[in-house]
A and B are shown apart, each in its own frame.
Chain A
Amino acid sequence: MDNKQYIRILKQVVVILKAAIFSLILLLVLVMDMGYNLLKKEFNNDRTVAAERVEAPEIVNGVHVRTGLVEGEGLDLVIQNCTTCHSSKLITQNRMTKTGWQSTIQWMQETQNLWDLGDQEAPIINYLAANYAPQKKGRRARLENIEWYEME
């Protein structure tokens, strides 16, 4: 190997090295940017949640403010799975036994496009059965909440 050949090879190696370093820096910048964006998203999410909380407290006197659902184990799952198609008023109006809630969910799955709830189904049904259970009404309830007024 003469000197000329040696220098040519060296030059080629330098070019390859330059390219490699440049690519590496580019990759690094890209990765950092992505990371930063993700961080920013996380930060913003926390910020909006915190802001919402200041404006409208989520739970007041044991009731979730936006939906009117009772506070309890499984509330989050119910809000996520049960208030997209219809409002929570369809839940809060109703009183059912565990099997009643179960068959209502099954009816929605068979006929109304409700998705498979997987292992969230049990905690959802437990929440509903615990907080929206039937009460005895009898064959005819007495008149209630009468607003008395004087008649001219």
Chain B
Amino acid sequence: MSSSRRQFIKKSTLAAFSGIIGAPIVFGKWLPKDYIPLILDQNDFHNKFSKDPAMVVLNDKPWNAEAQAHILDDKVTPASRMFVRNNGLIPQDIQTDQWTLTIDGESALTTKTYTLADLKSFPKHTYQLTLECGGNGRNEFDPPAKGNQWSIGAVSCASWGGVRLSDLLKDVGVKEDAIYVGYYGKDMHLSGSPDKNPISRGVPISKAMMEETLIAYEMNGEDIPLVHGFPLRLVAGGWPASASGKWLHRLSIRNKVHDGAKMEGSSYRVPCEPVAPGEKVLDENMCIIESMPVKSLITYPKSGAMLGTKKSLAIRGHAWAGELNVSVVHYSIDFGVTWQKCELQAAANRLAWQHWSGNVSFPKDGYYEIWARATDSEGNMQPMLVPGWNPKGYLNNACHRIAIKVG
């Protein structure tokens, strides 16, 4: 005991020394002055970013946190219940009066720089837009896929306000050979290197030109919260949320598919052709994810409800389908043997999630699971099993289910 303790102290002294000698040389000059590299307590997340206590923190550096199904019950997701997927460190000391957005690139006719005031002089548009992390549901893949182990809560549908990207692109002028619009944000790479972007993705020019694709300066009628991209965010609803760049300060109109950080390799890509679970896939056989697949959530009641003597239950939730509409939502209480149709509302606008509701009757006492299944406007349904395996565990749109006890 005492010898292992002595050894421990010696090791720690060594570590402390290597810390003193090694770490400052590698990182010192790049660490932002007031960035405290402490392992922060989980509660810090909820206080710091005014988040619902039921938000689950997956990583505290960089911040990654997801909602649980029952706190996503709001029709329009409040900031407090919106998932966070950060790839780097949040920018510090943002000065809104000095913030600019520059639009440049090989396929831009001119280069223009806009202040926030300039942007606000363009017509303002507001849409409810579904943003889901490409890796939502990753934790169900077998063999496991690496990255943050999202379960079901990396999805939101807030109301975003701002200028249409297409209005800005027209203002700058787009050459005919334009293929892609890539974004650059002010977040800092985890290594502290100022020359590296944590993430720099974007959308094809066709998606950039859609009327719902915004350069947003508002979320739910207020300034965008810092952790969600204040003061400016590209918002491309229905696509993996990584296409919606936060802390936006530059857009490049590219004459090729944008080649920024996390555009290449296996990031936000799936095998172009289906593969067996665990199969190695070459980079050139990986295709960029565009529209997200059809999916739904049961947001009421919370899983685990015991109904006592009641034999019926009102349920509700949301359903969304990337670029498409949801045409119908069903639920099953017998593991898919029979399906009942739900009430389904039209979307507030294209790319917003749709609200559904149902009334469940239970034939007898016992344990039940309620499964919800949405079908999109092209007839694609959510699978009951985890869909096609892919190396990074994207696009798991398997049916959501909750547990209920009757009697």
Contact = CB atoms under 8 A, between A and B. Distances in A.
Nearest to B384: A140
Contact of B385 (A100, A136, A140, A147): A140
Interface string A79-102: 110001111111001111100100
B274 interface: no
B304 A112 contact: no
B310 to A, nearest CB: 8
Interface in B295-316: 301-308, 310
Interface string A8-47: 0000000000000000000000000000000000100110
Contacts of A4: none
A1 interface: no
B403 A143 contact: yes
A137 B142 contact: yes
B142 A94 contact: no
Given A46-B9, A137-B142, A148 B405 contact: yes
A72 B264 CA distance: 35
Interface string B9-22: 10111011111000
B348 interface: no
Contacts of A49: 9, 12-13, 16
B93 to A, nearest CB: 22
B362 interface: no
Interface stretch (B125-133, B143-151, B286-294): B143-151
Given A46-B13, A112-B191, A143-B369, A94 B303 contact: no
B149 A111 contact: no
B59 A113 contact: no
A138 interface: yes
A151 B307 contact: yes
Nearest to B62: A86
Per DSSP, are chain B's interface residues mostly helix, strand or loop, or mixed?
loop
A73 interface: no
B27 interface: yes
A94 B58 CA distance: 11
B305 A100 contact: no
B23 A93 contact: no
A101 B149 CA distance: 16
Given A49-B16, A87-B61, A143 B308 contact: no
B301 A151 contact: yes
A113 B39 CA distance: 21
27 contacts: A45-B16, A48-B16, A49-B16, A53-B8, A58-B8, A76-B15, A84-B23, A84-B26, A84-B27, A86-B62, A88-B39, A89-B58, A90-B59, A93-B148, A94-B146, A111-B261, A111-B265, A113-B193, A136-B142, A137-B141, A139-B142, A139-B385, A141-B140, A143-B402, A149-B304, A151-B301, A151-B305
Closest 3 CB pairs of A and B: A113-B191, A85-B190, A137-B142
Interface of A: 42, 45-46, 48-50, 53, 58, 66-67, 76, 79-80, 84-90, 93-97, 100, 104, 107, 111-115, 134, 136-141, 143, 146-151
